[in-house]
Amino acid sequence: MFTAVQSRSTPVSSEIQHVFSIRRRKISQICRYNRSCFKVKAVIQSGNDNKTVKDANFMEKSMEESNRLLVSSGKARDVKAVVTLRKKMKEKISDKIEDQWESLMNGIGKGILIQLISQDIDPVTKSGKFAESYVRGWLSKPSDHPHIVEYAANLTVPHDFGRPGAIIITNLLDKEIHLVQIVVHGFNEGPVFFSVNTWIHSQKDNPESRIIFQNQAYLPSQTPPGIKDLRREDLLSIRGNGKGERKLHERIYDYDVYNDLGNPDKSEDLARPLLGGKEKPYPRRCRTGRGPTKKDPLAERRIEKPHPVYVPRDETFEEIKQNTFSAGRLKALLHNLVPLIAATLSSSDIPFTNFTDIDKLYKDGVVLNDDNDPQKNNFLSEMLEKVFSVSKRLLKYEIPAIIRRDRFAWLRDNEFARQALAGVNPVNIELLREFPIVSKLDPAVYGPPDSAITRDVIEQELNGMSVEEAIQAKRLFILDYHDMLLPFIGKMNSLPGRKAYASRTLFFYTSRGVLKPIIVELSLPPTPSSARNKRIFSHGQDATNHWIWNLAKAHVCSNDAGVHQLVNHWLRTHACMEPYIIASHRHLSSLHPIYKLLHPHMRYTLEINALARQSLINGGGVIEACFSPGRYSMEISSAAYKSMWRFDMEALPADLIRRGMAVEDTSMPLGVKLVIEDYPYAADGLLIWSAIKEYVESYVDHYYSEPNSVTSDVELQGWWNEIKNKGHADKKNETWWPKLVTKEDLSGILTTMIWTASGQHAAINFGQYPFGGYVPNRPTIMRKLIPHEDDPSYENFILHPEYTFLASLPTQLQATKVMAVQDTLSTHSADEEYMYQLHEIQQFSINDHEVLKILKRFSAKLKEIEDTINQRNKDIRLKNRSGAGVPPYELLLPTSGPGVTCRGIPNSISI
């Protein structure tokens, strides 16, 4: 019989125990009733003696004969469940033996037990009607796919069984199985689909069986009575109880703070503060439940590479992703390539001495040191050659897009400004709306609040306009990292090999429709001798000012790279999506239409975030090693979350209005008009936003047509409340959280979430290597301050300005490591799922023709948008996306192939 017992490793609450005890009684009643009235096939329990087996076989044959009589008399019918499994891609002999054993167990009916539950209530048991059978068949049926196999289970059900609503599946094998789908044939309505694509744990790991629901969407109030209890129970089993260390086979979704980034047991230098709480607020992550470190009881013990960090089982990368691009590529990078780069270059970690040194990375490559172990060396070489452009230990980088057409574009002011609108981080530029520019930091700590950028300095660059006229005409813009970074600059500059400023950059939008940088302000914390430690730079005309101006721009680019990676990329997409995903699993049944809507946009995100905590954003990880903030990186991310993150401002139109880059205009399709029409990120982003909004509104309207249907949806209300109160607990009392009362409220919330996971992440992720792969264009670290005339280094700067500039950039080791990371993060995997494919993906999850029509309309709309973007990139009037040597803006094109393409919008954050 079906065992309704929670895992021994997971103590259960009294509420869950109560539900399980009810189902045990009901299933027992169903079995007795079915056996007496309809003689549904009994479960055969294996025994140690031959008599038990013979009795069981005799009973089974008797049942089969009885079932045949019932079918022939019209009181019952035979149905067949076809079970599709995905096998692992293996080559080991032991694995092949395991596969043969699995086939044998399924052949004799000892491998997989399925229980078919009707949507209808049985009048006797008051539960769903029930039939069960083992999967059987001596040989699995191979499919066209080499790793897909099919088995069958024959069941006999009463003639009034009704439509199947759920299947309970028990895996009696010694290992987990990957269930693709179950299709039940034999009912008058046609085949009934249960497409799940899920891992089913072995009963030896957890005696609790899995509940699988059919491909139909129901609001909680519409759930068929026969599966209502199962719906509630399945949600309870996913939530766990917040105790114990999670095991890799489990599927428990719960919350925790970021207390696993440091490793104080290994070194005091690797201790990191806890993120999440009043002092350092942060979104919550998925709980793993590991014990505390020895030296810090508030820090969680780390799992170091290559051992995996727990994520719920279905959140892990599928094998095709592991074996092709992103997952295998990222793991190979972090576990093998980066250490190999470090071993090669660390002993001579020197700066680039001339631009030819940088060019060699693309022409000649980096020769990596051989390992002393020949066997390991051969294996590593083969692996790296498959995943990267590494041949015979030669790491050779592709030429980044930013210099592919024009190798000197990065030097020009117009390209520096263009990237603020069409680069990898086009989300920080703002309209300057007030003058003078004033800091909001405490002047008692950070000095006088007013900027050193004066009216006279600005008006020298405005071609006869006054500051007031330029502000009124919306011609002045600012990239302001002063308040975000100044509190950390002193600590950052105390780190070896790092020198940074807090920066402000002012831009002027010319009458020719071109944005140009006019002033850079670089600030250091006040000192006892100087309360105003600020310097002003402009492009100048002479050679000396030209080189100093380039150094000032490089410092701005370094700040921009850090804010991009730590705030806009990691925090606002990866970290903020994680609570939405956890809450969706905990509160929205897989039957819920909103779960089905969000599911493609949650794929792989928890896994990639876990990998990032393990090797990218952790203490001593790649981000700390290669970006200016160093060990203070995540503290800056937390400070940004505290000061600027708002859910309502993550909507693209709201964000553009907040930054002054758009104004409200009811005559425009989305009610906003861009201040700079040639703003590629915003112009293309609004097209994608509009398509998502239209799609979501149609979908929500389809399911929530009745009055009060949003407020009466208990799963939905629990979902939204938990996102605010647990997932973003440090922001729970903010008044700006949207209400969830109407279907318009729901559509707005969902549009923001889907945009964040898809278009927003694509726009700020997949251009990392095309723009950052050339170090002078976007250095992630600056190692020297700009020399003063009275500095000892000033004379050397005058004699060798090129060397001074390059010596200020990342070292060869830092640059090579960060280029490898950016290359990987910019790579689409071979199994990427893109937004335009949603109608193909969702057809296996939603059995609703009207919804599939909505999805097809969305796909068609995205195709139209792609054509529009391609036309824009050919428009010579749009100078930020076309012209001599100018890369077209393609980051928001919906389609892409695998690799570093600088285009394509995946459904989810998967790299």
* Residues classed as catalytic: 569, 574, 761, 765, 911
> What are the DSSP calls for 738-778, one per residue?
PP--SHHHHHHHHHHHHHIIIIIHHHHHTTHHHHHSSGGGS
| Residue of 605, 436, 447 whose CA lies nearest to 532 | 447
Check: CB of residue 579 under 8 Å from CB of residue 282.
Answer: no
In terms of Cβ atoms closer than 10 Å to its own Cβ (0-12, 13-18, 19+), residue 360 is middle
Round the CA-based radius of gyration of the chain to a whole number and report it: 30
Burial of 496 (0-12, 13-18, 19+ CB in 10 A): exposed
Residue 151's DSSP bridge partners are 83
Amino acid identity at 605: T
Contact 134, 115 (CB under 8 A): no
**What are φ and ψ of residue 131, in 5° steps?**
-150, 150
Work out the burial of residue 22: count CB atoms within 10 Å of its CB; fewer than 13 is exposed, 13-18 middle, 19 or more buried: middle
In a 13 Å sphere around the CA of 566, the CA atoms on its Cβ side amount to: 31
Contacts for 190 with CB less than 8 Å, ≥ 6 apart: none
**Residue where the block lists tokens 């205009």:** 665
Concatenated DSSP letters of 2-46: ------TTS---HHHHHHHHHHHHHHHHHHHHHHHHT-PPPP---
Beta-bridge partner residues of 431: 477
Question: What's 726-745 look like in SS3?
Answer: HHCHHHCCCCCCCCCCCHHH
Element (H, E) at 468: helix 467-472
Are 53 and 47 within 8 A, CB to CB? yes
Q: Are 558 and 804 in contact (CB under 8 A)?
A: no
DSSP 260: -
Sheet holding 76-86, edge to edge: 136-142, 148-158, 76-86, 177-185, 192-200
**8 Å CB contact between 760 and 425:** no
CB 226 within 8 A of CB 127: yes
Cα–Cα distance for residue pair 215/843, rounded to 1 Å: 9
Residue 485: partners with Cβ closer than 8 Å, 6 or more residues away:
500, 502, 503, 559, 563, 636
Closest residue by Cα to residue 551 from 664, 416, 651: 416
Q: Is 460 helix (H, G, I), strand (E, B) or coil?
A: coil
- Please name which of 399, 781, 312, 732 lies closest in space to residue 565, comparing C-alpha atoms: 781
**What gap in Å lies between CA 894 and CA 689, rounded to an integer?**
12
Collapsing DSSP states into helix, strand and coil, what is residue 179? strand
856 Cβ contact list (under 8 Å, min separation 6): 839
Tokens at residue 352, please? 């680039």
- DSSP letter for 335, please: I
783 contacts 807 by C-beta, under 8 angstroms:
yes
The single-letter DSSP state of residue 221 is G
Closest listed residue to residue 644, CA positions, set 424, 421, 428, 425 = 428
Backbone φ and ψ for 274, nearest 5 degrees, come out as -70, 135
